Structure 1
Amino acid sequence: MKSHSPYWRGLLACAGLGLLGGCMPTHPPRPLVAAVALPDTWREGPQGTGALQTQWWRGIGDPVLERLVERALRYNNDLLLAATRIEEAEAAARIADAAGWPTLSASVSNQSSRSLGTRGLTLSHVTQPGVQLGWETDLWGRLRLQGAAAALRTEAARADQAGAQVSVAAATAQAYVRLRALDAQHAVSRATASSRAEALRLAADQARVGYISQLQLTQAEAEYEAVQQTLPQLELAVRQQENALRILTGEPPGPAERGQPFAALRLPAVPATLPAELLQRRPDIARAERLLAASDATLAAQRRAFLPQVSLSANAGRLFTNALHYDPVTIWSIGGSILAPLFTAGRLQAQVDAATAQRDQAAFAYRGVVLNALGEVENALAAVERLRTQREHTERRRDVLARSLGFAQDRYQAGYASHLEVLDAQRNLYQAEIERIRARQGEMENRITLYRVLGGGWQAGSAER
């Protein structure tokens, strides 16, 4: 029996480890309410036929816009910050991976002492160089899970950068469209102000000879001033939009480059897509999914803190002393340790509970991102047909009011109507011109928004732009 005592001691140690392993809490499942049921199709039904292109802004047909978007993707400050967050996450992943490898360190110690002995005062010197090796064996996969969580957070940071790229490209395109729309409104206002200045001059001449009343003259003056007051407002809006566009492209405020006129800008085609494709096309969904997986891995690693930690260590060195006339002595040690938690006053269970709550938060955050993505796409798709119809009505109204102005001028010249009818027709036509520009601007911005909320052509696993 004595010859088998090491065997029995080892068997008892293994049984003790098994009992400790049985104390590890189970992995709690994700909340059922956090699951999202995706619809089979969009509420508006299939509308598009084209593919979702990565560089969708080229469909607008303006080389200047293409250069501005490419510049923004290279120099936008938010994207530069996102790149540094990726570097930080990659460094954290390397730190987590390094925890599973052995550590090797060197040390040198030197001591001098003076003491009183039987032979009087004694002076001694001790020098001890050595190396130390340590390694925590990852028997239960705790360190591996921590490394996996760090790698998933790195993927989340990359998805976050991709989402920022999609948003910056869309924001730049929308800012350029707004700028060209403001330019178009300013051009219409200047042309209207010029024509009303001429009309005011003629009205003043007619009022002097008594052909028209002072009321008609003051009405003409009021209409002229009404258009004149819009010019500085539009000029200020243009200046602010130029500054916003330049900041998006990573440049200081200043004049912005122009290309095609607003009327020549094309609407990007409506892409064909399904709700289920959003899970692979939206970077923010991919980010939330990676963070959820990382929190699950962190929870699994935290559960393994209940299990014993096994560490190995080794030391080797040389000992130099004056007592040995500096004849070195080799010293070494090798061993291992098992650290098993027996009583922690509930600390380990509290850490598991905290990790579970954080995992559940990530699950609900993922659910929220998916629901928000579905809502954004539904809203953009719902606006496609309605904004197109609105724009068509504004264009027809503008054409009708242009004919009305011609009729009013003919009636006035023939003496059948007063000059007030002409002023009313001019005012209505001017407002219709501005509304037509704004309606087309809204349609273009919504089409850009549609590309953004569909993921801008990004796909999970795709390379960086």
Structure 2
Amino acid sequence: MTYAKHNLTRILMLTPLTLALAACSVGPDYVRPQAAAVPAAFKEMKDWKPAQPSELAMNGKWWEMFGDPQLNALVEQIDISNQNLAQSEANFRKAMALVQAARADYSPTLSADASRTRSRSATGSGSSGSSSGSSVRDNYSFSLNADWEIDVWGRVRRNVESNEASAQASAADLAATRLSAQAQLAQNYLQLRVLDAQQQLLDDTVAAYQRSYQLTLNQYNAGVVAKSDVIQAQTQLKSAQAQALDNGVQRAQLEHAIALLVGQPASTFSITPSPLTAAAPPIPVALPSMLLERRPDVAGAERRVAAANAQIGVAQAAYYPSLSLSASGGFQTSNGLANWFTMPSRVWSLGPQLSQLIFDGGARRSVTDQAIASYDGVAAAYKQTVLTAFQEVEDNLAALRILEQEAVVQNEALQSARQAVTLVTNQYKAGTVNYTSVITAQATALTSERTALDILYRRMAASVLLTKALGGGWSEQNIADLGALASQSENSKKK
């Protein structure tokens, strides 16, 4: 008993030293990689009209800036039933479970063992060497065992650091998946509404061509025009009818795509046709330096760099000896079950253990090299993600600026085309021009109308893509608190 106390005293005396050693961690401390030079301003913002922050819902509901209640309702369904988002959320919960597993290495392990064995042994031998007797004994054993690896070189801390950073990256991936689904739905919905407007245009055009055809047919029956005019009018009418029918193919496919995004079967989902009434909204654009904090994909890439950096420390810790404390105590007897838990049957062991791998044929070096290479790879991926972010913002700033100018010119061309149709139609009725001039003017007007609608959709799509490129009101602070994220994920799972 005195010896046990002596050992325990020695271990307790070593504990402060052990904890002091555990305060250090091998491996490089994390520093965010230096991305490409961040410009002071976006190049395409020279003539940009800044918008007020209120014009973009900074609570994350950026789609509300289009002022379409049905779009708002559809986007809200993404959090409820989008399966890609559900998969991403499950990946985040898995990452959080890995954090919990890594943190468990901070604590000692406790195990219990109980056994009963029966053995037979000889008790002696005769003069001829033969056994003179034997005995059968029952052995009973029960013990509690505790083991604790002291994190002297920071292997556990680096592993926890890596898993926490990976969980933050997974949370950023979840936000990026949500933003991508929201943006895709908004694009599909706006395009569907433009197709509705185009359908209305084509239906009106078919009605106008029907009147022109009837007019030409009446004039032919009266002997005023040739048969060729009737054929041309009929051809133009049928062509417009075919375009009107073909418009329904793309609309149906967009409707099915929206159904997929909101997690509903395409066969039971439908959206009532209604022409687009919204206009391209102004979008506030922050400084380029803020872009690195507002995009979830950039934040996710940066967190993966932090995780890879910590794994270098985990690999390098394998070069150093490991120190563990172990203790066990229990009872062991062969004098019957009644004497199992008695003081004479008590056994115990207590003491530290230091182990060091001497030779491994370069395995540890290989693991360290892999960790360093992995870090270099994810650091390059982070820098590429940053460059892509700047490109996407510049692309859509340019698109909005140029499309706004194009819309003005196209509107002027459309007004001229409409006037031309009126003038040529009156001249045809007066007999001063042939029907080919009417067909040409009408075809030009229809093309101008459809081009104007196409520009409108492209402006809407560029607004969505610019908002997505700016992060949609997201901030990297949204992934700072893993506990809050886990709670949110659990609440979302219960819905």
Offset from partner CA, 1:194-224 (integer Å, 9 cap, x none): 2212222232232233211122111111101
Q: How many pairs are equivalent?
A: 444
Aligned residue in 2 for 1:455: 471
Counterpart Cα distance in 1 of 2:30 and 2:167: 24
Counterpart Cα distance in 2 of 1:462 and 1:295: 21
Which residues of 2 match residues 70-219 of structure 1 at below 5 A?
A: 70-118=76-124, 120-219=133-232
Offset from partner CA, 1:278-303 (integer Å, 9 cap, x none): 11100011001111011111112211
CA RMSD after TM alignment: 2.5
Counterpart Cα distance in 1 of 2:468 and 2:26: 43
Offset from partner CA, 1:353-406 (integer Å, 9 cap, x none): 111000111110110100000111111111111011112222221111111111
Q: Which stretch of the first structure deviates more once superposed, 353-362 or 186-195?
A: 186-195
Displacement of 1:255: 3.9
Counterpart Cα distance in 1 of 2:94 and 2:29: 30
Displacement of 1:260: 6.0
Aligned residue in 2 for 1:227: 240
- Check whether the contact 2:196–2:273 (CA below 8 A) recurs between aligned residues: no
Counterpart Cα distance in 1 of 2:312 and 2:52: 43
Change (3 A) 1:28 1:158: closer
TM-score scaled by length of structure 1: 0.90
Counterpart Cα distance in 1 of 2:27 and 2:346: 49
Aligned residue in 2 for 1:401: 417
Aligned residue in 1 for 2:129: none
Q: Which stretch of the first structure deviates more once superposed, 149-158 or 315-324?
A: 315-324
Offset from partner CA, 1:18-71 (integer Å, 9 cap, x none): xxxxxx997599998x64211111111352232253212111011111111111
Counterpart Cα distance in 1 of 2:30 and 2:456: 50
Letter in 2 for 1:261: P
- Unmatched 5+ stretches in structure 2: 1-17, 19-24, 125-131, 480-484, 489-495
Counterpart Cα distance in 1 of 2:287 and 2:273: 35
Change (3 A) 1:387 1:276: same
Change (3 A) 1:259 1:67: farther
Displacement of 1:438: 0.8
Counterpart Cα distance in 2 of 1:223 and 1:436: 21
- Check whether the contact 1:292–1:363 (CA below 8 A) recurs between aligned residues: yes
Letter in 2 for 1:435: T
Counterpart Cα distance in 2 of 1:341 and 1:116: 43
Give the match's secondary structure for 1:322: coil
TM-score scaled by length of structure 2: 0.85
Aligned-pair identity (%): 29
Displacement of 1:259: 8.1
- Check whether the contact 1:62–1:259 (CA below 8 A) recurs between aligned residues: no
Letter in 2 for 1:383: A
Displacement of 1:335: 1.6
Give the match's secondary structure for 1:188: helix
Aligned residue in 1 for 2:15: none
Letter in 1 for 2:81: Y
Counterpart Cα distance in 1 of 2:209 and 2:470: 46
Displacement of 1:163: 0.9
Residue 370 in structure 1 maps to residue 386 in structure 2 = yes
- Check whether the contact 1:57–1:268 (CA below 8 A) recurs between aligned residues: no
- Check whether the contact 1:63–1:259 (CA below 8 A) recurs between aligned residues: no
Counterpart Cα distance in 1 of 2:62 and 2:30: 41
Aligned residue in 2 for 1:38: 38
Change (3 A) 1:371 1:92: same
Counterpart Cα distance in 1 of 2:275 and 2:194: 9
Aligned residue in 2 for 1:69: 75
Aligned residue in 2 for 1:4: none
Aligned residue in 1 for 2:289: 276
Letter in 2 for 1:305: A
Aligned residue in 1 for 2:127: none
Counterpart among 241, 254, 264 of residue 251 in structure 1: 264
Give the match's secondary structure for 2:77: helix
Counterpart Cα distance in 2 of 1:197 and 1:39: 58
4+ runs of 1 displaced by more than 6 Å?
28-32
- Check whether the contact 1:245–1:256 (CA below 8 A) recurs between aligned residues: no
- Unmatched 5+ stretches in structure 1: 1-16, 18-23
Offset from partner CA, 1:151-189 (integer Å, 9 cap, x none): 110011001111111111111111100110111111111
